[in-house]
Amino acid sequence: MQIEVLKSKIHRVKVTGADLNYIGSITIDADLLEAANMIEGEKVSIVNVNNGERFETYIIKGTKGSGEITLNGPAARRVQKDDIIIVISYALMDFEEAKTFKPWVIFPNENNNSLKQ
């Protein structure tokens, strides 16, 4: 049996921009992606702490060290600059493997860097 479990989470990161006139997705600083073991093109769930919105999109890799968290396209309507969001990805795995799997969870600071795990 396979189940879907938490793979990676960027917990409480600040939105730096919202670009309605883009084709869609979320742009995330490459340093944050690396620390959270996420990759460009990966499907993610976004939870907006400020307004309760929940939606899905995919990742675009941002500039390393920029602290960028930009929601693009229609997702830009669900956030405002400086909102706090949680970015979550999931993975399918065998039930027994899932019992011992440890997800990557990171906690960026107020500048979206200087990570602690």
Q: Is 70 inside any structural domain?
A: yes
Report which of 85, 116, 117, 112 is spatially closest to residue 30, judged by C-alpha positions: 112
Domain holding 84, by residue range, is 2-92
Considering its fold, how many domains does the chain have in total?
Answer: 1
Interatomic CA distance for residues 104 and 8, integer angstroms: 5
For residue 23, what is the domain's CATH number?
Answer: 2.40.40.20
What pLDDT is stored for residue 117 in this prediction?
54
Beta-strand runs (E) in 1-117: 2-14, 17-19, 25-29, 43-48, 54-62, 69-72, 84-94, 104-106
- For the annotated catalytic residues, the residue numbers are 25, 58
What pLDDT is stored for residue 95 in this prediction?
98
Q: Is 100 inside any structural domain?
A: no
Q: Is 103 inside any structural domain?
A: no
* Contact criterion met (CB below 8 Å) for 105 and 117: yes
What pLDDT is stored for residue 27 in this prediction?
97
Amino acid at 10: I
Q: Is 105 inside any structural domain?
A: no
Q: Is 17 inside any structural domain?
A: yes
What pLDDT is stored for residue 114 in this prediction?
59
Q: Which segments of the chain have a pLDDT < 70?
A: 114-117
pLDDT in tens, 17-48: 999 998 879 999 999 999 999 999 999 999 99
